[in-house]
Amino acid sequence: MDYEKYVFNRKELFNYLIMAIVCVLMIAKLFYGKYLYAVLLSPLIIVILRIKKLQLKRKRKEELEAQFKDMLMGMADAMSAGASSVTALKESYKEMLGMHGYNSYICQELRIILSGIKLNVPLEKLLKNFAERANIEDLNLFVAVFEIAQKKGGNMIHVVKNVADNIRQKSEVKEEIRVAINGKKYEQKIMSTVPVILIGYMLISSPGFLNVMYETWMGKGIMTIGLIAYVLAIVWAQRIMDVEI
Kindly tell me the sign of the dihedral angle through the C-alpha atoms of 111, 117, 121, 122: positive
The answer to whether position 5 is within a domain reads no
Say if 58 falls within a structural domain.
Answer: yes
Task: Please count the helices (runs of H) and the strands (runs of E) in the chain.
Answer: 9, 0
Asked if the structure places residue 4 within a domain, the reply is no
Q: Residue 58's pLDDT is what?
A: 87
Is residue 1 domain-resident?
no
Range of the domain at 83: 10-241
| Integer Rg of the chain from CA | 25
pLDDT value of position 141: 85
- Report the domain count for the chain: 1
Q: Is residue 119 part of a domain?
A: yes
User: Tell me, what's the pLDDT at 245?
Assistant: 56
Q: ∠ at Cα 190 (220, 35), nearest 5°?
A: 35
Answer yes or no: is 190 within a domain: yes
Q: Are 31 and 223 in contact (CB under 8 A)?
A: yes
Pick from 80, 163, 142, 84: nearest CA to 117: 84
Residue 3 placed within a domain: no
User: Which residues, in sequence order, are CB contacts of 238 under 8 Å at separation 6+?
Assistant: 51, 54
Considering the domain boundaries, does residue 90 fall inside one? yes
d(CA 139, CA 128): 9
Averaged pLDDT in 10-residue chunks for the chain of 245 residues? 88 94 92 89 91 89 90 86 86 92 94 92 90 88 82 73 79 78 78 84 80 85 88 79 61
Neighbours of 72 (CB within 10 A): 23
Among 137, 138, 110, residue whose Cα is nearest residue 126: 110
